[in-house]
Structure 1
């Protein structure tokens, strides 16, 4: 155990840490001490217990417990980190379930029990869940998920990747497990892929159009900013109290106000640049 933890922690905390070290490996468990407030920080990696079953999801997370100097009278502060694969409110559900257990066990040493509860909850979530695209449950049997699970690197548009996604969509129940630990119906992912990702053959042209569109949009933005500046200047020179007109005339002697025609010209340029950008995006 780290010297800082042994010196500052209470007997209850030391006993909890020793128990956790006996149950988890060094790669799964991290223990440190916060010298500012005397808290002992415990971080434990969580992985679902699959029992060798074919994976439909591959959730990961780490539970962080902050044990104060008044632990166990005061329940530990809980948070999640290094979360992968959880979607929507699943992260908050997991944390809420563990927090409720911590409140029930106030006054008791509960670090190991909380980690076990988080592990069980993660295992339950790993067995089900919804497809992030169609919002329907992931209902893939072992055979379908085992034969069609594949890994696709996010952001790539290779021909082999597209072929794999299309092949996986043959079975309506097949589940696609991505390298980022998110799961989709293979058919849903295939439809999304072809609808929103440009083909590899058109990638270069697509990038060229994007560059041109960005350049036109930048010109429109610059022209619009200049028009706004000129508009403010014209407003300042026309909306002024009578007692200030003499001073204003002196100030504008070296920088006379621009006529309204200059403002109109800038507005026309803005509209033209906007039209060019819109045409390039089509």
Structure 2
């Protein structure tokens, strides 16, 4: 009776450990895989998914046929008959990038290699993420960064920006990514526009009343209540709003006037 096969796990006092064969495979993979680029390169050479190599690096077992493929790919054993050498994933990504630089558009690259425009873009983004190259290499076609931000200041809506520039939302998002326009930057523009609108409303109320209104006076009208809510959102409090704009407190003014009369 065969008690233990060559690829079985062994138990010891510390629990489950890999046998010598699997430990050797781990050391061989760990020796050549140092980053994401190596992971793609080696997985392509061994004709396995990158997740399989991750399993080995986590010291998890793989099937004997998979181990044979990996050993052959690493040059530790002769490759099985009939297996042709294919370009690695890294080489494929670099070739896509070369074609993109040469042809200038994702659609042209897609027609050349038989992929959709979106798939080409995804692969170029993947190559950028692992540090192979910097995509996009060519300036993106469409409105400039300044034009997008200026339109956003006017409309405060990406849908409106896309419409006025005759772009789809997907195209506008890609442009924002290319121009490094962040959500934080757009939020800052929104906040600034809200503050300007709030100040304009306050000045119109001052003009209508003939003086800076007290908090109580603001509460007596719909526009005043709306203004108080906007002030709280933009400045935190009416006191902070008055301080930022150097508006004298109507309450202090009334008190000083009353004191002079006494």
Rg (Cα) greater in structure? 2
Scaled by the length of structure 2, what TM-score is found? 0.26
Return the structure number with greater strand share. 1
